[in-house]
Structure 1
């Protein structure tokens, strides 16, 4: 055997043995995922996106073939998929769910009383494979037909689901965000467009509605801060909080921005309703100089579904964007989520509702990242490490 080839194999094996899957570089992760399934790699210049037909998800993205991977993975499930040839959901940077999470119309309690012990994620989001219908170098489209979903009061929805993942060129990123990326900055950007088509009877608000929901799972870090620009002033802000009190070390409101500690260390969640939401959110890892921006389709007059567990008279005034922190597991693996959702619509037969969720990562000198952040998020990155740590 060629000595050089043997050295590469041994080096790769040592890397898998000594690092968790969440520490692997992009090319290493692709090799590992291929042991469990057949992922698709979208590429454009140096940028890469790893896509799976497992829930039609984006597993991760990177600014280079051997670059940092942004998506968080559930390592125990990934290993199970590899060894037992299962197809269970294992995390990822952009995954598809359906809202509502809460209210009497929830999809997540198995037609039982809405309380934590009855929480049950439908199989559609756990082990469903979405057939691929088309693929190019920078785009892949999935379509899953004849899907049946039932809400907590027993309303049945018969739907088709389409998902298209697109990797953008640098020129396209500049156009979408209306910026000019400096030559010194590495970048990757992609979008997921999800379409839900009603193939059954017309939907009615009184029986509940469903709508696309994009959820990204990212690696928690003590040096990462979530950034949520909002409309209005701080005194009138209707900020949703779940699982925790609004301690200053976890959330702070300053200069029309909500800052949220995205360390993945303590179970906590925030959300913004439509009237306060802007069509961009993000987070910044100030130690590693990585800026992430999410842009999404926002309907300023739309009705959004509730995530609250309790009974609500109006279940159509929920959050548009959310961020969830998971508590650290036994292996020390942490993650947080950035989520956006589409408005709810009472669709007639064969009508559809769609949602566009776009993720952009920038890496490089903070001086350049700061200009991007100020332009898009209205947020200064300089000194961001003190915003939650000291409350300044």
Structure 2
């Protein structure tokens, strides 16, 4: 394993609302060359030609990965990157792992102006602290990078949080899969594994108070959408069985508003990742298994995401879009979002992606204390037969059952 690094160049221009040009047809090396010209890049080289692309300049994102016959697993909107950090609401530079701070909404949300009386797309704003500016590389070697950035965010109540964010990004070799996932890699399957280990430190002058709001780590993975892609989110049969295993009421109720886009198969929520309709669902700490994933039936690409979940119950920031939530600390540990064009329902959005997201708890950190959260991605590409075995073992549901449920014969 080895790394390559290149220099930062200057951004210019203006960003369109949706960002434009997609990376789906671009190869890994084309994307790297583009980033060398318009931002920066560090390449971590894995096994058998697999590669990982990181950009410290683009907020410390893991931009994309190459594995097997798939040149780029992540959304990298080249046109938006070329135009620069000028978008009014969100500089959507894509990436399979980006760092955000949550919660998004509610009385303690940090994505709306202090004192806002309603939460709408017009006053939604990604905080500049992690929407703009570079992370500083503090350490790097053949398979790992460490980055840092000071950040300050303010919640809806006007409470400010000063923090230091540290991200360690690295490769996960195939010989670690037994420890990581309890599996051995079939010889005919191509593989790329990576992780981000994230730390959020309270660097302010006072301890954080739950009565004034708390914040936590939020990691989001943007993967290339496809009409043949489905998100797979297993859940536990734990807790109050009278409550649903998932929450799909972030942007309308997915299961009611768009039947067929979200289904439960065995013990997993299945959700289309086609960028044709905005929708989102989440699973609580109590019900998540700490594993989720997706499968692209067109590319024979299985993606598994493993994330930190505390053993004891904790507070999670509630990101549903209500000014006064009944319980602002009843949020989800796992979420999945599918993009779409609200003006042209059913058509593929210009930024064609779906997301697999994980969050840390929100804790009342004392001055100087930190919280950590790990988010790991495992890409497997190869024969459907072998991926069927891996998918069933790791996510607890048959790929064949998923295909039959989401794309019934004759539909």
TM-score for both structures, normalised by structure 2: 0.85
Match of 1:307, SS state, is coil
| Correspondence 1:206 to 2:211 | yes
Q: Which of residues 306, 316, 319 is equivalent to 2:329?
A: 316
Q: Structure 1 CA distance, aligned partners of 2:348 and 2:327?
A: 39
Stretch deviating more after TM superposition (380-389 or 162-171): 380-389
- CA distance in structure 2 between the partners assigned to 1:110 and 1:353 by the alignment: 25
Q: Which of 243, 259, 270 is equivalent to 1:248?
A: 259
Deviations 1:153-203 (A, max 9, x none): 011111111001011111123321110110000010000011001111100
Equivalent residue, structure 2, for 1:115: 119
Structure with higher helix content: 1
Superposed CA deviations along residues 116-140 of structure 1, whole A, max 9, x for unmatched, are: 1211111123212111101111100
Check conservation: 1:279, 1:296, Cα contact below 8 A: yes
Residue-pair matches, total: 369
Q: CA deviation at 1:28?
A: 1.8
Unaligned runs of 5+ in 2: 1-20, 342-346
Other structure's SS at 1:34 match: helix
Return the match for 1:23 from 16, 21, 25: 25
5 Å-filtered alignment, 1:138-217, equals: 138-145=143-150, 147-200=151-204, 201-217=206-222
Q: Matches of 1:309 and 1:156 in 2, distance apart?
A: 20
Asked whether the equivalents of residues 108 and 155 of structure 2 are also in contact (C-alpha less than 8 Å), the reply is yes
CA–CA separation in structure 1 for the residues paired with 2:35 and 2:279: 30
Q: How does 1:1-392 map to 2 (within 5 A)?
A: 20-45=22-47, 46-53=49-56, 54-63=58-67, 67-81=70-84, 89-111=92-114, 112-116=116-120, 117-145=122-150, 147-200=151-204, 201-232=206-237, 236-241=243-248, 242-245=250-253, 246=255, 247-300=258-311, 301-310=313-322, 311-328=324-341, 332-390=350-408
Q: TM-score by structure 1 length?
A: 0.89
Higher deviation after alignment, 245-254 or 283-292: 245-254
Counterpart secondary structure, 1:382: helix
Q: Which runs of 5+ in 1 are unaligned?
A: 1-18
Query: Which moved further from structure 2: 295-304 or 217-226?
Result: 295-304
- Which range moved further: 327-336 or 245-254? 327-336
Q: Is this contact kept in 2: 1:132–1:140, CA < 8 A? A: yes
Q: Is the 8 A contact 2:112 2:124 kept in 1?
A: yes
**Is the Cα contact below 8 Å between 1:249 and 1:389 reproduced in 2?**
no
Give SS of 2:271's match: strand
User: Offset at 1:235?
Assistant: 6.2
Q: What displacement does 1:67 show?
A: 4.4
Cα shift at 1:332: 3.9
1:26 Cα deviation (Å)?
Answer: 1.1
Do the aligned partners of 2:223 and 2:353 also contact (CA within 8 Å) in 1?
A: yes
How big is the shift at 1:353?
A: 0.5
How far off its partner does 1:20 sit? 4.9
Kindly tell me: are residues 75 and 44 of structure 1, through their superposed partners in 2, closer, same or farther at Cα, counting changes over 3 Å? closer
